[in-house]
Amino acid sequence: MLENYIDGKWKGHSTLTDVINPANGEIIAKVPLSSEKEVDEAVQAAKIAQKQWAKVPAPQRAEVLYKVGNIMKERKEELARLLTLENGKVIEEARGEVQEGIDMAFYMAGEGRRLFGQTTPAELKDKFAMSIRVPVGVVAIVTPWNFPIAIATWKSFPAIVAGNAVIWKPATETPIMAYELAKIFEEAGLPKGVLNVVFGKGSIVGEAIVQHPDIQVVSFTGSNEVGRTIASECGRQLKKVSLEMGGKNAVIVMDDADLDLAVDGIIWSAFGTSGQRCTACSRVIVHKDVQKELEKRLLEKMEQLTIGNGLDEQVKVGPIINQSSLEKIHGYVELGKREGAKLLAGGFPLTENEYKYGWFYAPTLFTNVHPNMRIAQEEIFGPVVSIISVSSLEEAIEVNNQVSYGLSSSIFTRDVNRVFKAQRDLDTGIVYVNAGTIGAEIHLPFGGTKGTGNGHRDSGVQALDVFTEWRTVYVDYSGKLQRAQIDIESNE
C-alpha cells in the first residue's frame, strides 16, 4: 500500500486505486487517490520548509543530491525491476532510465557549486553590478507514466538544488517509482517538507496544484491536451509554466545512407518502449530510390523482435501501458487503413497465450503514407510507423516540418553538406545524425518546438531557468547618491 509523503511523514489514504502490471494484469500495489486537502497540506508544509532550505548554501543542498545519486546507484537493479513491473518497459531500458536519474543527480549536484550568474561593469564610478539566480519558492512537478523516474529527476533535482520546495504529482499508472524516490530522498536526509509527493488523479490533484495560489511554477510533462489546459489556467493566474509535450518524430533516410545502420536506428526508436516515448520514431521519410530495400530490411528485422514480459532479458518489446492506450493505437491503425495507407506488418493486438492477461500490440509498419494523413500527423504513442516517400533532401525536410510538433528528428546520410543543411532546417528541438530519434543525454537541454512545448527545456543547465528567478543587484560604494539614466558626464 503506497502512501503520500507530506512534510516528511508517510500518510495513508482511505481511497485507493490499483496499480497494475501491464504485462500480466496483476495488481502490484494500491495507490492513494488524494484530494485538494492533501495538496493544500503539502503546500503549507512546503512554504515553511522552503524558507529554511533557501538559506542552506547551495553546495550543501547539493550534498543531498550526491547522497540520492549514490543510493540510486546501490539500488539500481531493484529500482529497474520495479520500474519494469509497473510500466512494462523491458529491463535493459528500465536500467537505462534509472541510470538517467543517477546521472542527473550527480550532474545537478555539481550545479550546487556553480549556479552561475553574471557580473558586469556598471555605468557609474564606484558601482558594481551583477545578476544572481534565486529560488522561486514552492514549485510543482506533474509527470507522465512513460518515464516515471527519469523525468521526475529532470525536474525535481534542479528545483531542489536551486533552493525550492517541491510538490510532485506522479502519474497514477506508475506511482511506485515516485514512492521509492521519496524514500531515497528521506534516507539521504532531505529536510522535511522540501519534497512532497501527492498521489491522485490529474483531474483532482493535478488541477488542485495548478489552481493553488501559493504554487509559483508548474513544470509539466505529458500530453498536449492536458498541457493546454494547464497553460491556460496558469496564464489566467500569471503563473510560470514549463510544458514538455508530445511528438511526431521522423527518421529521414537519404539515398546515400548506410541502410543497415538506418534500420537499426528505426527499429530501436520506433519499437523500443513499444513506441511509448515522446521521442519515438513514428514516421520514416525515405528517398524513393532506397524505399523498397529499406522496407525489405525493416520487415526482416521486425520479424526478429521478441515481444513479451519486459522482465525476460530476451524480450525487446514490452506491453502497452493499459487497455485505453491499446484501443487508441488500434483505432489509429484502423484509421490508417481507411485513409489508404498500405499495411506491411502488424496491425493487431496480441491476445493469446502469454499475452492473454496483458496489453500487447504487434509492431506495425505502414507504407504509401501521404504526409497529410492523420496517421502521419497525430501522436499515436505506440509501435506504429508510417513510411513516406520523397525525392530530395528539401522535400524530406519539408515533410518533417509539416506537423504541429517539433521534438526530435534524425537523418541518415554520408554527405556532410546534407548533414549541415538538415541540422539547420529541421524544425525540432533535438536533431540526430546517423542515429535514431531517441537517447537524450541529461547534460543537454531536452524539449521541442511548436506544439511540443512552450519554449522551456528540461535537463541541462537550462532546467535551472524554470526553477529560478533572476535578481539584478547594483552595489554603489561611492558614498554619494549617483543617478543612473542621466547624462554620465553630469555624474563626474
Ligand X SMILES: O=C[C@H](O)CS(=O)(=O)O
Ligand Y SMILES: NC(=O)c1ccc[n+]([C@@H]2O[C@H](COP(=O)([O-])OP(=O)(O)OC[C@H]3O[C@@H](n4cnc5c(N)ncnc54)[C@H](O)[C@@H]3O)[C@@H](O)[C@H]2O)c1
Write phi, then psi, for 395 (nearest 5 degrees): -65, -40
| Closest to 143 measured CA to CA, from 458, 415, 432, 392 | 458
- From the list 98, 150, 315, 411, which residue makes contact with ligand X (rule: CB under 6 A)? 150
Q: Is 244 one of the annotated active-site residues of the chain? A: yes
Regarding 144 and contact with ligand Y (CB under 6 A), the answer is yes
Window contacting ligand X (CB under 6 A); options: 110-118, 274-282, 312-320, 469-477: 274-282
- CA-nearest of 330, 319, 270 to 299 is 270
User: Three-state SS across 392-452?
Assistant: CHHHHHHHHHCCCEECEEEEECCCHHHHHHHHHHCCCCEEEECCCCCCCCCCCCECCEECC
Q: Does 279 bind ligand X (CB under 6 A)?
A: yes
| Spatial contact of 443 and 109, defined as CB atoms under 8 Å apart | no
Looking at 223-310, list the stretches that DSSP marks H as alpha helix, in order from N- to C-terminal side.
224-237, 259-271, 291-303
Q: What angle do CA 460, 462, 463 make, to 5 degrees?
A: 80
Residue 244 touches ligand Y, criterion: CB under 6 A: yes
What interhelical angle do 150-161 and 58-74 show, nearest 10?
A: 160
In total, the chain counts a number of residues equal to 492
381 is an interface residue for ligand X by CB under 6 A: no
Shortest Å distance, C-beta 447 to ligand Y: 6
Nearer to ligand Y, 92 or 378 (CB): 378
Q: How far is the CB of 470 from ligand Y (least distance, A)?
A: 24
- Interface map 372-401 toward ligand Y (x if CB under 6 A): -------x-x--------------------
Residue 150 binds what, of ligand X, ligand Y, none (CB under 5 to 8 Å, by partner type)?
ligand X
Rounded to a whole number of angstroms, the minimum distance from the CB of residue 42 to ligand X is: 25
| CB of 230 vs ligand Y, minimal distance in Å | 5
Of 290 and 430, the one with the shorter C-beta distance to ligand Y is: 430
| 143 contributes a contact to ligand Y by CB under 6 A | yes
Residue 147 binds ligand X (CB under 6 A): yes
Judged by CB under 6 A, does residue 438 bind ligand X? Answer: yes
User: How many CB atoms lie under 10 A from the CB of residue 110?
Assistant: 15
Residue 88's identity, in one-letter code, is: G
* Site residue total, ligand Y (CB under 6 A): 30
Q: Which of 86, 97, 173, 244 is catalytic?
A: 244
Asked whether 344 and 117 are in contact (CB, 8 A), the reply is no
CB-count exposure of residue 303 (10 Å: 0-12, 13-18, 19+): exposed
The region of 113-121, 205-213, 339-347, 464-472 touching ligand Y under the rule CB under 6 A is: 205-213
- Name which of 34 and 410 has its Cβ closer to ligand X: 410
83 is a site residue for ligand X (CB under 6 A): no
CB 275 within 8 A of CB 384: yes
Interface residue list for ligand X (CB under 6 A): 100, 147, 150-151, 277-279, 438-440
Interface residue list for ligand Y (CB under 6 A): 142-147, 151, 169, 171-172, 202-203, 206-207, 210, 221-223, 226, 229-230, 244-247, 278, 379, 381, 407, 452
